[in-house]
């Protein structure tokens, strides 16, 4: 059965999977794709250190696998000596007329051999890697290697990336033209704390050897896994959902010259209406019935059929409703639904409505939406928080996102209603933005009243609690003795650094109006040694001495001229050999892939003067002030980490 229209669309194309992975073959076959398998001969030996991010490495490896197969198949075609163009066309047509055995549904049954390699229309390559703190783990070379991978992953959360490349090939004269599309998908996987004995038992099962990271989540390895956030099939080797969306983008939004003859092997679309109308027409006896039938649905007019077939699938409708889902979450949080259910659950809609002082009908609908969004569990006994909601949504939880959600609802939401003007003018929508200097951004906007300031500090505090540990441990910083977190706000990252590195003293440097309110956010004194707070403005006042400076989600707030001004001041204080750690959401160079980062960048357009940047852009900013990037790591959170060293002037 084919559920996704675009998979059906590929029926008349020669699709080749450039992979020997049985998992990929199975996933694509199950989805109803017809393809052949031509394993790539590309040796997976690219220099990992030359890639800004692990997923850039996976994408490039996937691309090289696909290119190898596309080129080999093309050469196989054109190596036939003495063949004329006419004969080639005839031969291709002959091949096209061959029965489906040429394009088997279960491609893995018959891998293509060199002799029947003719130019493909589409070649798909993929590469799956496991990453932990910036380290890329591929398939283990032996049992000891599997042990070293699994013991690294033991008890920790890691990322699994699959890079995918789709090459659309066309052959003009003897030239192979290729249009290359790429994407990646990330899934977070957490291992339980496992004993040595269990790890070795697992290794002796033989399962780890042909799998990235040394485990197979779909089989015995599933027992090692505590949770998975994201696409499960991505871990198994192929992100099917993202792949279908990409295909829809490539094939359903383009002019439809290559629409295959209607072939409804599962759910007939327009034909259903016509058949129904025919039956009705006949049943009602007549010509009149037929004449009244809307012509648009008739077989003679093929346009509606094409239109229906080429409509973008549901993701667009989901996107249209995206704001409603956000607002439902905001409202349920604000009305303290998750707080209530954290203390008492399950509760029925009537009871909840009464406790939050709202109408029963309205509350019921809101609760059902929350259940559909995966925030509540609905059973016959009533509603309860899901695990996800319990962790992040009640206002008093350790990792509560409640303050951030309230901030988004009360401020960001308003800013976004004026997105069009921000896009037209290219400036912040923040009241008073016009005519004010960029320098007064925080004073004007976030700290204009005590309430607003506290709301902002709480939101930032809740966000940094989610990322601080990963940022602090993305690189080994144990050689530093003093660090200064510029704009370090409530000190969440500073405390995490002090905890991770017993020899490190950390100074948080932030505006006096911020620091006067941070005491309520501090852990007990006993749990917070070696962290101190110094008031000051990093654009004006002298910076505390340190051998490691930190800018966590700071550069994003400023346009290039202000970022240069700040970096120049840090460069003036940082001694050669000292370092600067930058924690930011790093965009890919083409600004195509990182959707959360791109949305944040849009947010910065409406709310401030800043923007998110790519690694190349950060590299250029830093280089202009004598900093050379020595490493960049994905943390699996919304921020990535760049470590740069101050070179000798
Ligand atoms: C993490 C994980 C990986 N894997 C597999 C998927 C991939 O097949 C493999 C990663 O190796 P890859 O190099 O991505 O793929 P491959 O060598 O199997 O095939 P080819 O290079 O020909 O495309 O690990 C699982 O099956 N389960 C898992 O849980």
Note the pLDDT tens digit of each residue in 368-396.
999 999 999 999 999 999 988 999 999 98
Q: Give me ligand 1 centre to Cα 50, in Å.
A: 22
- The pLDDT of residue 216 is 96
Banded pLDDT at 6 (limits 50, 70, 90): confident
Among the listed residues 68, 96, 121, 127, the single catalytic one is 127
- The pLDDT of residue 453 is 86
ipTM of the complex: 0.97
**Whether pLDDT at 632 is above 70:** yes
| Mutational test site, ligand 1, from 21, 54, 163, max ligand atoms within 8 Å of CB | 21
Tell me how far apart the alpha carbons of residues 463 and 145 are, in angstroms, rounded to a whole number.
Answer: 36
> Which is the closest atom of ligand 1 to the Cα of 58?
14
Structure tokens at 607: 């709310």
- The pLDDT of residue 565 is 97
- The pLDDT of residue 110 is 38
Contacts 24+ apart (CB under 8 A), 206-212: 208/140, 208/146, 208/149, 208/150, 209/139, 209/140, 209/146, 210/139, 211/139, 212/128, 212/129, 212/130, 212/137, 212/138, 212/139, 212/160
| DSSP result, 232-265 | HHHHHT--HHHHHHHHIIIIISS--TTPPPP--S
> Which is the closest atom of ligand 1 to the Cα of 40?
22
**Whether pLDDT at 297 is above 50:** no
- The pLDDT of residue 33 is 92
What value does the mean pLDDT take over residues 417-433? 74
- The pLDDT of residue 270 is 24
Tell me how far apart the alpha carbons of residues 56 and 63 are, in angstroms, rounded to a whole number.
Answer: 10
**Helix H segments across 298-386?**
303-310, 315-320, 322-334, 337-343, 349-355, 360-372
- Tell me the pLDDT tens digit for each residue of 23-34: 999 999 989 899
**Whether pLDDT at 101 is above 70:** no
CB-defined site of ligand 1, < 6 Å: 19-21, 23, 39-40, 44, 65, 126-128, 130, 139, 160, 210-213, 215-218, 221, 235-237
Q: Give me ligand 1 centre to Cα 640, in Å.
A: 25
**Whether pLDDT at 564 is above 90:** yes
| Choice between 598 and 581, residue whose per-residue pLDDT is larger | 581
- Say which CATH topology domain 321-397 has: Arc Repressor Mutant, subunit A (1.10.10)
- The pLDDT of residue 269 is 26
- The pLDDT of residue 310 is 52
Q: What is the mean pLDDT of the chain?
A: 82
Q: Give me ligand 1 centre to Cα 211, in Å.
A: 5
Banded pLDDT at 115 (limits 50, 70, 90): very low
- Tell me the pLDDT tens digit for each residue of 119-169: 799 999 999 999 998 899 999 999 999 999 999 999 999 999 999 999 999
Banded pLDDT at 528 (limits 50, 70, 90): low
Banded pLDDT at 447 (limits 50, 70, 90): low
Which protein residue's CA is at the shortest distance from atom 21 of ligand 1?
Answer: 19
- The pLDDT of residue 349 is 97
Minimum mean pLDDT among 51-55, 446-450, 562-566: which range? 446-450
Mention every residue, 6+ apart, whose C-beta is less than 8 A from residue 77: 88, 117, 118, 119, 171
- The pLDDT of residue 257 is 40
What value does the mean pLDDT take over residues 202-219? 95
| Choice between 319 and 257, residue whose per-residue pLDDT is larger | 319
**Whether pLDDT at 607 is above 80:** yes
- The pLDDT of residue 134 is 82
Which protein residue's CA is at the shortest distance from atom 23 of ligand 1?
Answer: 19
> Which is the closest atom of ligand 1 to the Cα of 162?
14
SS3 of 476-508: the string is: CCCCCCEEEEECCCCCHHHHHHHHHCCCCEEEE
What value does the mean pLDDT take over residues 568-577? 96
Which protein residue's CA is at the shortest distance from atom 6 of ligand 1?
Answer: 237
Q: Give me ligand 1 centre to Cα 200, in Å.
A: 21
Mention every residue, 6+ apart, whose C-beta is less than 8 A from residue 3: 31, 32, 266
CA dihedral 418, 421, 426, 429 (to 10 degrees): -40
| Mutational test site, ligand 1, from 22, 211, 233, 235, max ligand atoms within 8 Å of CB | 211
Minimum mean pLDDT among 117-121, 331-335, 408-412: which range? 117-121
Which protein residue's CA is at the shortest distance from atom 16 of ligand 1?
Answer: 21
Each domain of the chain, given as residue ranges in start order, spans 4-253, 321-397, 439-646
Minimum mean pLDDT among 103-112, 118-127, 455-464, 543-552: which range? 103-112
Q: Give me ligand 1 centre to Cα 226, in Å.
A: 21
Tell me how far apart the alpha carbons of residues 282 and 633 are, in angstroms, rounded to a whole number.
Answer: 68
> Which is the closest atom of ligand 1 to the Cα of 126?
23
Banded pLDDT at 635 (limits 50, 70, 90): confident
What value does the mean pLDDT take over residues 583-594? 84
Which helix (DSSP H) or strand (DSSP E) does residue 27 occupy? helix 22-30
- The pLDDT of residue 357 is 96
**Whether pLDDT at 302 is above 60:** no
- The pLDDT of residue 638 is 87
Which protein residue's CA is at the shortest distance from atom 9 of ligand 1?
Answer: 211
| Choice between 390 and 592, residue whose per-residue pLDDT is larger | 390
Is the four-CA dihedral 137, 142, 147, 150 of positive or negative sign? positive
| Choice between 105 and 5, residue whose per-residue pLDDT is larger | 5
| Choice between 14 and 11, residue whose per-residue pLDDT is larger | 14
Q: What is the three-class DSSP state of 68? A: helix
Q: Give me ligand 1 centre to Cα 18, in Å.
A: 12
Tell me how far apart the alpha carbons of residues 141 and 573 are, in angstroms, rounded to a whole number.
Answer: 46
Tell me how far apart the alpha carbons of residues 637 and 600 are, in angstroms, rounded to a whole number.
Answer: 14
Q: Give me ligand 1 centre to Cα 237, in Å.
A: 5
What's the helix, strand, coil split of the chain in %, to 5?
50, 15, 35
Which protein residue's CA is at the shortest distance from atom 5 of ligand 1?
Answer: 211
* pLDDT > 70 fraction of the chain, expressed in percent and rounded: 79
Which protein residue's CA is at the shortest distance from atom 20 of ligand 1?
Answer: 19
Tell me how far apart the alpha carbons of residues 393 and 345 are, in angstroms, rounded to a whole number.
Answer: 15
- Say which CATH topology domain 4-253 has: Maf protein (3.90.950)
What value does the mean pLDDT take over residues 547-567? 96
| Choice between 526 and 41, residue whose per-residue pLDDT is larger | 41
- Examine the residue annotation and report whether 127 is marked as an active-site residue of this protein: yes
- The pLDDT of residue 491 is 95
Minimum mean pLDDT among 150-164, 263-277, 305-319, 345-359: which range? 263-277
- Tell me the pLDDT tens digit for each residue of 488-497: 999 999 999 9
- C-beta atoms surrounding 571 within 10 Å: 19
Residue 253 contacts residue 261 (beta carbons within 8 Å): no
Q: Give me ligand 1 centre to Cα 381, in Å.
A: 43
**Whether pLDDT at 432 is above 60:** no
What value does the mean pLDDT take over residues 463-474? 92
Q: What is the three-class DSSP state of 642? A: strand
- Residue owning tokens 């589409």: 122
Tell me how far apart the alpha carbons of residues 200 and 198 are, in angstroms, rounded to a whole number.
Answer: 5
CATH 3.10.20.600 fits 439-646, yes or no: no
- The pLDDT of residue 367 is 98
- The pLDDT of residue 519 is 87
Residue 574 contacts residue 544 (beta carbons within 8 Å): no
> Which is the closest atom of ligand 1 to the Cα of 211?
24
**Whether pLDDT at 576 is above 90:** yes
Q: What is the pTM of this model?
A: 0.53
Strands (E), 357-470: 376-379, 382-385
């Amino acid at each position: 059965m084919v559920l996704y229209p675009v998979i059906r669309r590929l029926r008349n194309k020669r699709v080749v999977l450039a992979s020997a992975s049985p998992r990929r073959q199975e996933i694509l076959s199950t989805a109803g794709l017809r393809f052949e398998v031509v394993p790539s001969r590309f040796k997976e030996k690219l220099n990992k250190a030359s890639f800004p991010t692990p997923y850039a490495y996976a994408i490039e490896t996937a691309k090289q696998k696909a290119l190898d197969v596309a080129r080999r198949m093309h050469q196989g075609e054109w190596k036939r000596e003495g063949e004329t163009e006419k004969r080639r066309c005839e031969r291709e047509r002959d091949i096209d007329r061959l029965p489906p055995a040429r394009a088997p549904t279960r491609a893995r049954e018959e891998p293509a051999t060199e002799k029947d390699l003719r130019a493909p229309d589409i070649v798909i390559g993929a590469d799956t890697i496991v990453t932990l703190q910036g380290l890329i783990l591929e398939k283990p070379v032996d049992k000891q290697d599997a042990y070293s991978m699994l013991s690294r992953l033991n008890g920790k959360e890691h990322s699994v990336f699959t890079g995918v490349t789709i090459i659309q090939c066309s052959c003009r004269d003897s030239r192979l033209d290729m249009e290359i599309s790429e994407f990646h998908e990330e899934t977070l996987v957490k291992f339980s704390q496992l004993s040595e004995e269990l790890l070795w038992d697992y290794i002796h099962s033989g399962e780890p050897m042909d799998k990235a990271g040394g485990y197979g989540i779909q089989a015995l390895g599933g027992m090692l896994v505590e949770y998975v956030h994201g696409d499960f099939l991505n871990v198994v080797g192929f992100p099917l959902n993202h792949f279908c969306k990409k295909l829809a983008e490539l094939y359903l939004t383009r002019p439809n010259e290559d629409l295959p003859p209607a072939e409804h092997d599962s759910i007939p679309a327009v034909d259903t209406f016509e058949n129904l109308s025919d039956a009705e027409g006949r049943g009602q006896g007549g010509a009149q019935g037929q004449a009244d039938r809307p012509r648009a649905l008739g077989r003679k007019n093929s346009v509606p059929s094409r239109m229906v077939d080429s409509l973008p699938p549901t993701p667009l409708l989901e996107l249209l409703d995206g704001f409603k889902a956000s607002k439902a979450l905001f409202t349920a949080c604000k009305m303290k639904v998750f707080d209530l259910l954290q203390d008492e659950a399950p509760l029925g809609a009537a009871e909840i409505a009464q406790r939050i002082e709202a109408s029963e009908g309205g509350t019921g609908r809101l609760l059902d939406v929350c259940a559909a969004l995966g925030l509540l569990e609905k059973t016959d006994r009533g509603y309860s928080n899901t695990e996800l909601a319990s962790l992040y949504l009640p206002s008093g939880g350790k990792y509560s996102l409640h303050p951030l959600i309230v901030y988004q609802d009360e401020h960001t939401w308003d800013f976004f209603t004026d997105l069009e003007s921000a896009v037209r003018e290219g400036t912040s929508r923040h009241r008073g933005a016009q005519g004010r200097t960029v320098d007064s951004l925080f004073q004007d906007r976030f700290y204009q009243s005590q309430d607003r300031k506290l709301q902002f500090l709480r939101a930032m505090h809740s966000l940094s609690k989610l990322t601080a540990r990963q940022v602090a441990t993305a690189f080994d910083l144990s050689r530093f003795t003093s660090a200064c977190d510029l704009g370090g706000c409530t000190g969440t990252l500073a405390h995490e650094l002090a905890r991770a590195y017993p020899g490190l003293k950390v100074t948080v440097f932030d505006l006096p109006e911020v620091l006067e309110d941070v005491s309520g956010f501090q852990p007990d004194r006993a749990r917070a040694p070696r962290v101190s707070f110094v008031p000051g403005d990093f654009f004006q006042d002298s910076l505390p001495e340190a051998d490691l400076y930190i800018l966590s989600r700071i550069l994003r707030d400023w346009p290039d001229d202000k970022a240069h001004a700040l970096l120049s001041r840090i460069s003036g204080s940082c001694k050669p050999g000292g370092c600067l750690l930058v924690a930011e959401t790093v965009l890919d160079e083409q600004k195509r892939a990182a959707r959360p980062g791109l949305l944040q960048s849009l947010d910065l357009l409406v709310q401030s003067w800043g923007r998110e940047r790519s690694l190349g852009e950060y590299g250029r900013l830093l280089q202009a002030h004598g900093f050379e990037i020595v490493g960049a790591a994905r943390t699996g959170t919304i921020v990535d980490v760049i470590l740069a060293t101050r070179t000798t002037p």
